[in-house]
């Protein structure tokens, strides 16, 4: 299975779509658009998982796909929209690193991921290699988003998008037990829930979700 075969091409297309949406996440200036882009990424991920389930003949992956679609594609974005409405947030994204520089950095990170993964996985299946490179890029872009945004909601989305990358890596590798995938997903979801609770608390105390304001209240200052 390599370039030119249908299973490979479709998997490649879907993985590339997930990566592309990571970039879309990076350059959105409005928070509603960020959430929508994240929902699309979750949907694409669900499709990728379903396609892999079909290609590998692993019915467990269909479950992953359904879960991803339900949680990432529908529920979490709806919840985030609700939060934004309820808290009456600024609808703009407050960036710490400008949009342009973040995109340049993102391109660099993708290049780095390809440089690392392709030589390291020599001898593995072409699909797995491409998939791993795409997944690592998505993970790195998620991290980049976490550090380049000031708003707590954007940071949570960065974390969830990072987890999308992990799932993408997991579904690309044949034989990864379902338990591992599910527990990883559950773990990140829990972290997201905790982060959301914190976001509410921060909002209540400081009337903002900009984490920058927390720094004035840290102990042990010299």
Partner 1 sequence: MLTVLVLLVGALAALGGAAMPLARSAAGARLVHAGCVAAGVVLAAGGLAGLLGGPAALELPFGPPWGPARLALDALSSWFLLPLGIAVACASLFALGGVHGAVPARELVPWPLFVAGMALTLLAADGFTLLLGFEAMSLASWVLVAHDHAQAENRRAARIYLVFAGFGGLALILACGLMAGGAGDVAFAAFRDAPPEGWRAAAVLALVLAGAGSKAGLAPLHVWLPLAHPAAPSHVSAVMSGAMTKVALYVLARFVFDLMGPAQPFWLGAPLIALGAASAVIGALRANLEEDTKTLLACSTIENVGLIAIGLGLALAFRGADLPALAALAAGAALLHVLNHAVFKTLLFLAAGEVLHGALSRRIDRLGGLIHRMPWTAWAALAGVAAAAALPPLSGFASEWLLLQALLSAWRVGDLAFQMGAAAATALAALATALAAAAMVRFWGLVFLGRPRTPRAAGAEESGGAVRIALVVPAVLTVLLGLVPGLMLDLAEPALRLMAGAAAPRADLLAVGAAEGGARYWPILVAALVAAAIGLVVWLVRRRAPAGVARGPAWDCGFMAPPHHLPFGDPATQPSAAGFGQPLRRMLGESLLAAREGVAMPPPGDTRPAVLESGFHDPALAALEGPLPRWREALATQAEKLRDLSIRQCLGLTFGAVVLMLALLAWLEGR
Residues contributing to the site for partner 1 (CB under 8 A): 96, 109, 112-113, 115-116, 119-120, 140, 143-144, 146-147, 150, 211-212, 214-215, 220-222
Q: Can you read off the two tokens belonging to residue 133? A: 């490179």
Nearest to 114 by CA among 24, 16, 181: 16
**Residues 177, 212: Cα–Cα separation, whole Å:** 40
Minimum CB distance to partner 1 smaller for 83 or for 109: 109
Least CB distance to partner 1 at residue 212 (A): 7
Minimum CB distance to partner 1 smaller for 88 or for 215: 215
Minimum CB distance to partner 1 smaller for 31 or for 133: 133
Least CB distance to partner 1 at residue 14 (A): 24
Minimum CB distance to partner 1 smaller for 57 or for 218: 218
Q: How many CB atoms lie within 10 A of CB 175?
A: 6
- β-partners of residue 77 are none
**Residues 74, 42: Cα–Cα separation, whole Å:** 8
Least CB distance to partner 1 at residue 155 (A): 8
Minimum CB distance to partner 1 smaller for 143 or for 189: 143
- Output the CA–CA distances (angstroms, integers) from residue 3 to 12, 154, 163, in the order listed: 9, 36, 27
Least CB distance to partner 1 at residue 195 (A): 11
Q: Please answer whether residues 14 and 47 qualify as being in contact, where contact means their C-beta atoms are separated by less than 8 angstroms.
A: yes
Least CB distance to partner 1 at residue 176 (A): 22
Minimum CB distance to partner 1 smaller for 204 or for 221: 221
Least CB distance to partner 1 at residue 115 (A): 4
Q: Please answer whether residues 194 and 159 qualify as being in contact, where contact means their C-beta atoms are separated by less than 8 angstroms.
A: no
Q: Please answer whether residues 191 and 185 qualify as being in contact, where contact means their C-beta atoms are separated by less than 8 angstroms.
A: no
Block residue for tokens 């304001």 = 213
Q: Please answer whether residues 121 and 129 qualify as being in contact, where contact means their C-beta atoms are separated by less than 8 angstroms.
A: yes
């Amino acid at each position: 299975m390599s370039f030119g075969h249908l299973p490979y091409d479709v998997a490649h297309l879907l993985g590339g779509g997930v990566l592309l949406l990571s970039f879309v996440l990076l350059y959105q200036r409005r928070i509603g658009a960020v959430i929508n882009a994240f929902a699309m990424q979750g949907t694409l991920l669900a499709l990728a998982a379903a396609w892999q389930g079909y290609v590998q003949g692993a019915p467990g992956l269909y479950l992953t796909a359904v879960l991803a679609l339900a949680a990432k594609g529908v529920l979490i974005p709806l919840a985030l929209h609700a939060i934004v409405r309820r808290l009456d947030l600024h609808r703009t994204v407050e960036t710490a690193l400008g949009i342009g520089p973040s995109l340049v950095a993102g391109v660099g990170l993708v290049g780095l991921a390809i440089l690392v993964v392709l030589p390291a996985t020599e001898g593995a299946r072409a699909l797995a290699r491409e998939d791993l490179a795409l997944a690592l890029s998505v993970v790195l872009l998620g991290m980049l988003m976490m550090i380049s945004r000031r708003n707590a909601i954007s940071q949570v989305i960065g974390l969830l998008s990072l987890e999308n990358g992990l799932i993408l890596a997991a579904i690309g590798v044949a034989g990864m037990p379902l338990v591992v995938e599910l527990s990883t997903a559950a773990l990140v979801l829990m972290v997201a829930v905790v982060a959301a609770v914190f976001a509410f608390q921060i909002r209540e105390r400081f009337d903002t979700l900009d984490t920058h304001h927390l720094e004035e209240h840290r102990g042990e200052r010299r």
